[in-house]
Each structure stands twice: as structure tokens, then as C-alpha cells.
Chain A
Amino acid sequence: MKACGIVHKYGDNVDTDVIIPARYLNSSDPAELAKNCMEDIDPDFVKRVKKGDIIVANKNFGCGSSREHAPIAIKASGISCVIAETFARIFYRNAINIGLPIIECPEAAKEIEAGDTVEIDFDSGMIYDKTKKTEYKGQAFPPFMQKIIEAEGLINYINENK
């Protein structure tokens, strides 16, 4: 599986309140949530984002609230992968559970810039910045999580295994 798209770049500690503000949590519809994704940190994100695009951020991406609405909103907005230096742990679990690919890679997070075209090969964990002609090795998932991802989320994994 591969993803390829234009990069939207953010800094440290992007919290789930800015990914999807609580004032929109009276809905749980992915398309509805996507309309307000990143609104409080990047009001133009929803106008700019195209299917397949990639978010690159620094440390502790997705910190704060446990709202699964955050990865749901990102996925529904068209984002194909989030690369970060580190992820907050609840966001990390949620992304895997709903099938939003995420990769931890400090070097890629530091060097890739907004507007770069980036391709990710999920099988090898390789990240290619096609604009800069650089490549990075992202952290591979442990086999246990790989199984959840291959099943396209925790629900299918449980249906197949329990």
C-alpha cells in the first residue's frame, strides 16, 4: 500500500481541540466533522486539502482529548497519512483502530516542508520527499498492530480473531 500527496505542515503539540473543536462534537458524522477539521489552527485547511494529501507535524501530535472524532475528521478530509516526530498515545491507538495510517519519523518530521510532494510505502516504512529528493525510514509497526492494520481496524480484527 502506498500514499502520495502534498504536505500540510504543523508544529509541536497539535491538540485534538484544534483538530476538531469540541463545539462540533455534537456530530459524529465523518463528512460533517471533516468540514471543520483543523479549523482553529489552520482555517484554510479544508479549502486547500486534496484527497491523498499528507500531514507532517513535530512532536506529540494529537495530544489532549481522547475524541476519536479527531482521526476520523482527518481521514474524512482526505488525508492519506500523518507523519510526526511523536504521537500522543490515545491518538496513536485511535488512528490505528479506525484505519488512518500514521508514521513516527523524527527526521522526516523535521526536514519535510509544507507543499512538498511526499510518497509513503507502508510495507517498507519508507518515506520519499519527491520535491527534495530525500528519503527517510519511518518506524515500522509491531507485528500485533500490523495485524490490526491489515484487518483495516480493530473491529474487523476482533471479528476475525475472537
Chain B
Amino acid sequence: MGMTMTQKILAAHAGLESVEAGQLIEANLDLVLANDITGPVAIHEVEKLNKKTVFDKDKIALVPDHFAPNKDIKSAEHCKCVREYAKEHNITNYFEVGQMGIEHALLPEKGLITAGEVCIGADSHTCTYGALGAFSTGVGSTDMGCGMITGQAWFKVPSAIQFVLTGKPSKWVSGKDVILHIIGMIGVDGALYKSMEFTGDGVANLSMDDRFSIANMAIEAGAKNGIFPVDEKTIAYMKEHSSKPYTIYEADADAKYDASYTIDLSTLEPTVAFPHLPENTKTVREAGEVKIDQVVIGSCTNGRMEDLRTAAEILKDRKVAEGVRVIVIPATQAIYMQAIEEGLVQTFIQSGAIVSTPTCGPCLGGYMGILAAGERAVSTTNRNFVGRMGHVDSEVYLASPAVAAASAVTGKISQPAELGL
């Protein structure tokens, strides 16, 4: 029986000819990741292991990004714990404030992950790297810590859902709208324990930044991973960012899928997920009058160069609506610098937005934009659970950078067309 793309990567990393859904395997890891929240728990756990040395100091990435730059004394202690562990074990890929960025934007940018590799990260959005044709998945701290020492992790081989993408999205429809549409269609557990495998002619019409956004939110449908085929765009991205070799895996023609959905990208509209689940999606046209207090443009989902360019195109020569607070967070230092060079930061500030150093901050209600009771935010982040960005009585509406920027101007959920764009 044929294998899915994910199954082929897992088989190769488990030293097996073939695997099938449901099989338990131990796979070799190419990259193991943690941040300042999950890292200290992992470090504390691995202290109990007999073996203390890491499996490969070059294949571990430690990125303080959630509550960094340190938001308070306790967070400072966590960052210190990660920093000291990285130093003690001579970890090559530790990124201090000044070099760091939001982990899932940073690692591909630094070329630490390429097609065909297997990565686990103690962060649920580790599935982002599926955009590059890698198998990557989120785990907890103990799994991460054990992976860091042994270089291996156990997996139950997932079955898959196939998403055949066709057509070309219209100007203001991005990868974020695609994934919100899909989650709205299949639900927040629609791909539970499974792979989401994207394929079809439409993939060529999605930029790498679009694909990162889509793979990033596979977890929001409960998936183990989301994965894209490797094409010219993927190869160009990897050549630009990485000196590591890569391996291209393709799903077999007779691979078995639990379900297959065809989505014509040209029919999609700007989409918003209403509180308090990413599956509560509506098109912006259906949204009605939803007044907002805050806009966040950033995160591992949408803090990349194209996201900022889109937002700036809309905010250029426009003003943020009175009473709305707009927080723009470039995901990495390189993106931040590029945004300065392109004049985007100036555009944001002139419009009345603020621009922050890279951090996960508000996405998880950490800091840098916490909501009060009754407040509403349109956010390009990935979760809108109860209390996610602050008070339990606040609300988060998930959207693309284009919708977020248009909403910033009007003060209510809007799309660029409402500004004559």
C-alpha cells in the first residue's frame, strides 16, 4: 500500500522500508526545539535522566521568545535557566535577545530545518515547518527534553487528510484565510491525530509565507502535522536560507487518505474566526458590525515580511481609527530590519500604530497588549480561546494581516475593499 508524504519521512527516520497508519515507531530527530516557557520544564526533567549530555549540540534550538525580552522577574529566571543550560551544553543555536525572533519564523529563516527532516518542538506551532516539506510536530517538555538527550522520539504513524488546492487566491486573500476556511470546514478536532497533506496546482500560487501560515495552524484543527510538497519556491527558499542538504519526499500515487477535500482558492474570501474557537469562521462580509479596541499584527502565524508589507500597503497614508490600539510585531530581527529598510515601520508609526521588538507577547496573553474585560481585538495570531489575550471576558477575532489592517482603519471588522482597495 502506498504511503503519504509524512509516512515516507517517518519511515526513513525510523530506518524502515515502509510504515502504516497506527504503527508505533521510534524516529531519529534532525532538530529539537524549546522556548523560555517549555525549556525550563524540559531542562528540569532531563536532570533526572542518567545520561546528561545532549545528543547533538548543533541539532537543538533554544529560543527565548514567549516572555522575552523578560516581562517580569519570574520570566527572567526562566530565560536565565535556558541561557545557562545552552551555555553549559555549548548549544549552537541559542538565540539571545538581539538575535532572537519568534521561533517558528526564526528557525526556517536561519536555515535550521529543511525538506525531508524530522523536528519536534516543545511548542504546539512547531508544525509550521511542514511548509518546507519537513515532518515537524509539537510536543511537551518531557518529550522535548528526552529528544534533546536521546536524539529520538516515539510516534504513532498518522493517517492523513488530503487537501487538494486549486486556483489562485484573489489579492487580499492570504494563506491565513485558506487555513481559517479549512478549520471552519473541518473543525478544531477535524484532523485530530492526523496529517494534513496539501497538494494540487493551487499550491504553486501560494508564497512560502502563505504556506508557513497554513502549516502553522494545522494544530488548530488538531492535526499532528501539516505538510506541503516541495516545489521551486521551496527550493529557492531553502537555497536562500540554508546550507543544509534537503530530501524531497512525495506521497505515493496510491497513498490512502481518510478524506480528501478540494478547495478552489479563487473562491475564498477574507475570513475571520469569531470567539472562542478558531472553527467559528465567517467571511468578513458575513461578520456584521463588530467594533474593536485593539489590533495585533504579528506572531508565528503572521509576523513575516509579506504580512507586514500587506498591512503597510493598507495603512499607508491612512490613520488608525480613534480609540483603537494597533500593535505591529515583526517576527524576527531580520524581518524588523527589512521592514525599516522598506519604510514599513515609518508607515506603521505614521498611521498611529506601534512597532514592537520580536516577541510572542500578546498572542498568549503574556504582555505587550493585554485586553481588559469587554474589549475586543482583531489579531493575526492563531488562537481565540477564552482569556487567550487577557481578561476572560475579552474577545479575540482571528484574521489575516489585510483584514487586521483594514479593521485598524475603520475601528470595526473590515476588509480592504471597504477602503476602496
Q: Which residues of A contact B (CB under 8 A)?
A: 13, 15, 17-18, 21-23, 25-28, 40-41, 59-60, 63-69, 71-72, 86, 88-90, 93-94, 97-98, 142, 144, 153-155, 158-159, 162
Does B364 sit at the interface, judged by CB under 8 A?
Answer: yes
- A40 partner residues in chain B, CB cutoff 8 A: 386-387, 392
Does B181 sit at the interface, judged by CB under 8 A?
Answer: no
Contact in complex: A26, B75 (CB < 8 Å)? yes
Q: How far is the CB of B150 from chain A (nearest CB, A)?
A: 6
Does B122 sit at the interface, judged by CB under 8 A?
Answer: yes
- A17 partner residues in chain B, CB cutoff 8 A: 364-365, 383, 385-388
Stretch at the interface among B134-142, B293-301, B342-350: B134-142
Interfacial residues of chain B within 132-154, with CB under 8 A of chain A in the complex:
138-143, 146, 149-150, 154
User: In the bound complex, what is the Cα–Cα distance between A40 and B67 (angstroms)?
Assistant: 20
Contact in complex: A155, B49 (CB < 8 Å)? yes
User: In the bound complex, what is the Cα–Cα distance between A69 and B222 (angstroms)?
Assistant: 19
Residue of B nearest to A69 (CB): B41
Interface flags for B8-37 (1: CB within 8 Å of A; 0: not) read 000000000000000010000000000001
Contact in complex: B222, A94 (CB < 8 Å)? no
User: In the bound complex, what is the Cα–Cα distance between A25 and B154 (angstroms)?
Assistant: 27
Contact in complex: A60, B189 (CB < 8 Å)? yes
Contact in complex: A89, B193 (CB < 8 Å)? yes
Known: A23-B365, A65-B124, A144-B24. A153 touches B142 (CB 8 A): yes
User: In the bound complex, what is the Cα–Cα distance between A39 and B71 (angstroms)?
Assistant: 22
Cross-interface CB contact of B387 among A18, A28, A59, cutoff 8 Å: A18
Residue of A nearest to B77 (CB): A26
Number of B interface residues at 8 Å Cβ cutoff, please give it.
Answer: 51
- B193 partner residues in chain A, CB cutoff 8 A: 89
Does B224 sit at the interface, judged by CB under 8 A?
Answer: yes
Q: Which residues of B contact A (CB under 8 A)?
A: 24, 37-38, 40-41, 44-46, 48-51, 66-67, 71-72, 74-75, 78, 121-124, 126, 138-143, 146, 149-150, 154, 188-189, 192-193, 219, 222, 224, 277, 364-366, 383, 385-388, 392
Known: A88-B222, A93-B143. A66 touches B41 (CB 8 A): no
Contact in complex: A67, B38 (CB < 8 Å)? yes
User: In the bound complex, what is the Cα–Cα distance between A93 and B189 (angstroms)?
Assistant: 16
- B66 partner residues in chain A, CB cutoff 8 A: 25
Contact in complex: B192, A60 (CB < 8 Å)? yes
User: In the bound complex, what is the Cα–Cα distance between A71 and B50 (angstroms)?
Assistant: 24
Cross-interface CB contact of A25 among B37, B48, B51, B387, cutoff 8 Å: B37
Contact in complex: A94, B140 (CB < 8 Å)? yes
Contact in complex: B40, A162 (CB < 8 Å)? no
User: In the bound complex, what is the Cα–Cα distance between A142 and B66 (angstroms)?
Assistant: 35
- B124 partner residues in chain A, CB cutoff 8 A: 64-66, 90
Contact in complex: A26, B72 (CB < 8 Å)? yes
